[in-house]
Structure 1
């Protein structure tokens, strides 16, 4: 029965079927049974389009993104996704494109193979903008039922452009408006990264859409230096543990920990493109790239954070149904507490490089919508450092383990 339930859960996690039922019938021998798998198919393709409005100080602008996803391309279980988006911010039009494809049984073997291509433009602040173009080729090999190994080759090119708002009257970048680290990166031109990465993933999550029990753990290393400018060894790990605290009340506990460290290997040093920057996966309640080492000569926090070489983070969360809302709607609530630290930077422009902890508490609303999982977070920092950038509200459309 344990193996049958495991097979049922794996079929459901494919997201090809609306329902999966497994029954038995007498076999040809007394010690044998016939398994009858009864499924109801559902559409495996999605078309989505969304919009938003970004604000940052006096700057604002609309954004729109659309994507087409097919999880069972040509009926072969292949995954294909095309996406495109545009954001109007700081009087500039930033565009992004992406193409991903995965073959789950490469050459008829239990090996997945795929590739990703992308181009992203972003105006992080009104001080500088980034342009990234790249791609990867990846392979995955299952080791047993719960452990998977992966390897990939990655190639990307990144550039920084200093905006007019960070230039002096003579047209020279002003180090009091944007960090000298970004000015140097812009003067250097394209930063090319050629790397190989490998990973191990352990996954016993019972339901990817609504996890109640199980462990998700990932260890990954990336070695750059196969040509290009970047030369480093980056190590990251993360682990999430789900546990049902009350079956009757449908209350679920979650503990998540993670960390990373990057070691320079070559003589080119670490670029601002290579260091770790915080995001909502690390800690909520703070802006993206809003904590950690920074250039204190910059009078405005925007454009001053230059990333760190080490980070550690942890989350404790309790998820529960919301009273008076039927379970069929798929809306749940959560309360959480996050802690994180981001530190270490050998740049001569860096300050606040020592380990300093940040912490936040907050509440969330999670919706298993027809368009995919949607989550709204509101977090309040309870421990921060002078100069940190606060962002209380966060919204995302993804499942994260």
Structure 2
């Protein structure tokens, strides 16, 4: 029965069927049975046009996106998606992804991703990223998967007019750190890297997890040609546990860490880690950690760090009165994080970075989560309980929520 239930779960996870039922019939021998799998297929293709609004990340504000997705292309289990979107501040995204789940008839997935992203960040600088990834995945056991990929991208950065001296085309060091100005003046950057990952996953239900562990270890080495030369290591883990089955209360503990080590030339400011809502809630994107205190406008002063650690605890529960069929749940959470380490220097070789020590920040708050027809949405209100002078606070956050 354990093996039968595991097979049923794997069939359901394919997302090809509305229902999966397995029954038995007498076999050809007394010690054998025939398994009868009864499935009801569902549409695996999707055309969608949608809009949204997010308060965090590099480009907050309204967005619109259209996409065509097929999860069972030509009936072979292949995944293909074409998408395009846009928003304020000249934000544009274009993407194409394809995955073959059984490459060369083996249990190896293979695929590629192509993308182009243009965005304005904090009205200080604009990014233009074009690139692609070739990736392979290998299931080692039922719960452990390895992945390897080659990544190639071209990066262009441009200082925004709001960060320039009025009436001129000269960047204003009082509005944006010299680190961003120097990196943007370099022109086009080429990043060529290889990456590998290990994923351990025992989550019972990815759409509504109640029990299980998800852990991912990832390393990326940039230096296979191109301009970048670093080793970036990250780890993320989430553990779910049902605290009360009758009241449907779920506990969550999450941890994360990352470190980037540069080789040869100094790391660029765009290579460093910046805080986001997954690291710690209650603070603005790129609003904590090492910064350039000579900049008057804080939006252009935070430079990022080489190392971070973060942890989170959360209790999720159904909301009183609200029908369970609506897919709305509440949560109480507490976050802690530190982002530190920065050796950036100006053109004279002098350091201009402050607040680069291992100072911890902490916050607590409440959330409302909605498994909407448009995807998982989340509303967070967080209040910092420990911060450093100069940190940028953002109590409310709203956006799409991806658990893994």
For the criterion TM > 0.5, the same-fold answer is yes
Q: Equivalents in 2 of 1:110, 1:398: separation in Å? A: 30
Partner of 1:6: 6
Q: Equivalents in 2 of 1:54, 1:323: separation in Å? A: 27
Q: Equivalents in 1 of 2:34, 2:187: separation in Å? A: 65
Alignment partner of 2:88: what SS? strand
C-alpha RMSD of the superposition: 1.8
**Does 1:184 pair with 2:182?**
yes
Q: Equivalents in 2 of 1:275, 1:82: separation in Å? A: 30
Instruction: State the shift of 1:303 in Å.
Output: 1.4
**Does 1:392 pair with 2:395?**
yes
Alignment partner of 1:273: what SS? helix
Q: Is the 8 A contact 1:114 1:137 kept in 2?
A: yes
**Does 1:40 pair with 2:40?**
yes
Instruction: State the shift of 1:395 in Å.
Output: 2.5
Instruction: State the shift of 1:174 in Å.
Output: 1.3
Q: Equivalents in 1 of 2:221, 2:229: separation in Å? A: 7
CA offsets, 1:8-59, max 9 Å, x none?
Answer: 1111121111111122222222222221211111122233333346789xx9
Q: Is the 8 A contact 1:181 1:349 kept in 2?
A: no
Q: Equivalents in 1 of 2:294, 2:50: separation in Å? A: 39
Instruction: State the shift of 1:319 in Å.
Output: 0.9
Aligned pair partner of 1:121 in 118, 121, 142: 118
Q: Equivalents in 2 of 1:377, 1:75: separation in Å? A: 40
CA offsets, 1:225-261, max 9 Å, x none?
Answer: 0111110111111111111111111111110101001
Instruction: State the shift of 1:277 in Å.
Output: 1.0
Matches within 5 A, 1:96-245: 96-169=93-166, 170-245=168-243
Partner of 1:264: 262
C-alpha distance 328-137 of structure 1, shift in aligned 2 (>3 A): same
Q: Is the 8 A contact 2:148 2:194 kept in 1?
A: yes
**Does 1:20 pair with 2:20?**
yes
Q: Equivalents in 2 of 1:60, 1:102: separation in Å? A: 30
Of structures 1 and 2, the one scoring higher in RCO (CA 8 A, sep 6+) is 2
Q: Equivalents in 2 of 1:207, 1:268: separation in Å? A: 45
**TM-score, normalised to structure 1's length?**
0.94
Partner of 2:68: 68
Alignment partner of 1:270: what SS? coil
Partner of 1:357: 360
**Does 1:372 pair with 2:375?**
yes
Provide structure 2 residue ranges, at least 5 long, that are not aligned to the other structure: 345-350
Q: Equivalents in 1 of 2:153, 2:246: separation in Å? A: 50
Aligned residue pairs total 395
